[in-house]
Amino acid sequence: MDREALLQVIVEPARQVGLSFEEGLAETILDDVAKQPGALPLLEYALLELWQRREHRRLTLDGYRASGGVQGAIRLWDVATGQPVGQPLRGHTNDVNSVAFSPDGLLLATGSDDQTVRLWDVASGQPIGQPLTGHGNIVHSVAFSPYGERLASAGNDGAIHVWDISPASWIAQACRRANRNLTSAEWTKYLQDVPYRKTCPDLLVPSD
C-alpha cells in the first residue's frame, strides 16, 4: 500500500462521520507507520484510541500522542499461526525500544522513549502497577534475572537500574510504607474479584 492509499485509509472513515484532523496529524501517523515495520496491524487500534480522545468533532495531535500512537503499542503474536494475540498493550506514551518475557512467561517488561519501564500481565494484557521511573533519558534495554525476581533496565542516561519485582518484596514494601493492611474498599478497588486477605499479618486492618 503506497503512502497516498494509506492516507485515505486513515482520514476517509473519519471524514465520513464528520470528524476533522488537526493539521499535521495524518502526516504524523503516516510517518510513524513508515518508521515501524509491522505497524499496520496496530494502526486500526491506534485510530480507535485517537477517536476516543477526540475534542468535539476534531482529532488532535495531543490525543494521538496521549494514546501512545502507533509506536507506543506492543503486540503479542502466536508464532505458530502468525496471528496477533489479544489487543495491543497500551500505556507507553512514546516509542517502545525493548521487550522481555519473564522466565516463567507470565510477565512482560518493556522499556520506552518515555523514560519508563512497564510490567504487563501476559494473560490479561493489563499493566501491573505504575510505570517504573528513575531514568533520565530513553530506556533502551530491559532484562529479567534467571529466576524472574529482579529486572534490569538500561538507558541513554548511562544508568542501569535493578528493580526488585518479586510479589513478596512488593507486599513487604507496601506494608512498611502504609503501616497497615488495605481496607476492604481499597482491596476491591485494586484487586477486584480476588478474595480479601491480610497481606500484613502483624498489622491492623483499618475499617472502611
Mean pLDDT of the chain: 83
Q: Can you give the residue ranges of every domain in the chain?
A: 1-71, 93-165, 171-208
Output the CA torsion 168→170→175→176 (10° steps). 110
pLDDT, tens digit (0-9, with 9 covering 90-100), for 62-100 = 888 776 677 667 878 888 887 778 877 888 888 888 899
Higher pLDDT, 204 or 171: 204
Condensed to tens digits (0 to 9), the pLDDT of residues 123-167 reads 888 888 889 999 999 999 999 999 888 999 999 999 999 998 887
- For 29, residues 6+ apart whose C-beta sits below 8 A from its C-beta are 10, 43, 46, 47, 64, 69, 70
β pairing state of 58-59 and 20-21: parallel
C-alpha cell at position 178: 502504609
Topology of domain 1-71, CATH: Helicase, Ruva Protein; domain 3 (1.10.8)
Closest listed residue to residue 115, CA positions, set 57, 158, 155: 155
Length of the chain as a residue count? 208
